[in-house]
Structure 1
């Protein structure tokens, strides 16, 4: 978190003529928060394994992913965390999922997050992490994602042509470019400087940032059994964007949880109870 504050302060001080490299680091740097005691206790009981993804963007090398699992049941439940997060931020949900009979709960720290090493991170590291687990460890029966992790799950499942028994998205991020813009605006970067950043993004990555929009990326003909939990007042998973997605794909089952916000939604007893009930009812 200290490094992110330093970058933000530097950008605020130079907002009239921001350095593109610093804007790039600000967008792709994911601060790491230490584990709390109860999280340390849960991770100590996990089975640990590691996988790799290739990083064609920053280092042109393989990056390790630290993965964890609890239980050894035949029903596999995969958890994909959000930006600046980690597997153990699903602590409360993991505890309740393990009460379901005959399950294995699998989670991972995406590169640049939690315990997995990388100076920078991006959405495709998350999606590639999901793919690595499905291809090299276990094909998940249920896939749960929070925020950016929800978008990563959709990308990975569609790329692998997988249809789990249920896809569950918690406060899903719908438009990545707009989240980038929101972050840059928060440190005083004007629109024309942001345009320059996004032009450079398109040169570095195979597609423009606007490509990562679930309204366009989501393949409705796959007929995912998809449940979305959200708070309409969420200031990160913006409701008008989510509404556009839900209006286009009315087959997606969505439920409002008021007053939980973007991060506390992971700890909401109502949300957790509903997720556990839905999984239990179809497993």
Structure 2
């Protein structure tokens, strides 16, 4: 049933594309960009109350940040898709015990942050805003948080000494192609979506690549992947 429902929704969007490709593309991209989970649970909020909270306003919505003060280097933590700052609990406790200054944020449409939709470019802009305020020495990003960190460093001037990427995806086009296949979108629908992406982000989907963007960076970095994760780009290189 879980595999059938996306196909049914995809067929409906394909039908709409026969009459209005632009509207179909809007629906498809909105569906792709809307997390199904990741908002704070009551049990998670209890731990996050141990931090100092600061809210930032960005393009009409709130970005929530958390700070655990320390006297050593400042570390910024950027979580991944359908998650929130609580996912760093174990690492935060470990780093706090070593007196690091720790900052974590909730991504757009995640945790206690606002907005209904999410994308890596928007997340990168929020990471830039938070980094400019807290001046981290190190940024650690998990999953799309790692991808967005690289996007931010490639697009903005962020003075950071090191980055650590945990299970960060590489090519956006691979992620989006998987989504298109899962939904069963027609060629007409797929072309309309790509046109909308170009209109919205000023680039083809292929432009957004973690490996390409990291080649422009001159900072120390560590990339970590679980050996059981299927790494599409690494397997094809």
Q: Give 1:159's match in structure 2, choosing from 155, 166, 176.
A: 155
Structure 2 unaligned blocks of 5 or more: 17-23
User: Does 1:141 pair with 2:137?
Assistant: yes
Please give the per-residue CA displacement for 1:202-252, whole angstroms capped at 9, x wherever unaligned.
1222112211012322234x43211111024324xxx241467xx7xxxxx
TM-superposed CA distance for 1:173, in Å, is 1.2
User: Does 1:53 pair with 2:58?
Assistant: yes
Q: How many residues are paired up?
A: 227
TM-superposed CA distance for 1:43, in Å, is 0.6
Q: Give 1:25's match in structure 2, choosing from 7, 23, 30.
A: 30
CA contact (8 A) 1:31 1:113 kept: no
User: Does 1:193 pair with 2:183?
Assistant: no
RCO comparison, higher one (Cα < 8 Å, 6+): 2
Aligned twin of 1:71: 69
Please give the per-residue CA displacement for 1:156-188, whole angstroms capped at 9, x wherever unaligned.
223333353321000011011221121221122
CA distance in 2, matches of 1:165, 1:204: 32
CA contact (8 A) 1:15 1:190 kept: no
TM-superposed CA distance for 1:9, in Å, is 6.8
CA separation of 1:89 and 1:191: change in aligned 2, threshold 3 A: farther
SS of 2:155 mapped into structure 1? helix
SS of 1:85 mapped into structure 2? coil
CA distance in 2, matches of 1:200, 1:95: 43
TM-superposed CA distance for 1:191, in Å, is 4.6
Aligned twin of 1:176: 172
CA distance in 2, matches of 1:130, 1:73: 22
Alignment of 1:114-133 (within 5 A): 114-133=111-130
Output the TM-score relative to the length of structure 1.
0.72
CA distance in 2, matches of 1:154, 1:133: 14
Aligned twin of 1:252: none
Moved over 6 A (4+): none
CA separation of 1:240 and 1:185: change in aligned 2, threshold 3 A: closer
Structure 1 unaligned blocks of 5 or more: 55-61, 248-283
User: Does 1:241 pair with 2:233?
Assistant: yes
User: Does 1:88 pair with 2:93?
Assistant: no
Aligned twin of 1:229: 224
CA contact (8 A) 1:30 1:121 kept: yes
Q: Give 2:200's match in structure 1, choosing from 204, 217, 222.
A: 204
Output the TM-score relative to the length of structure 2.
0.84
For structure 1, which segment, 226-235 or 108-117, has the greater mean C-alpha deviation from structure 2 after superposition? 226-235
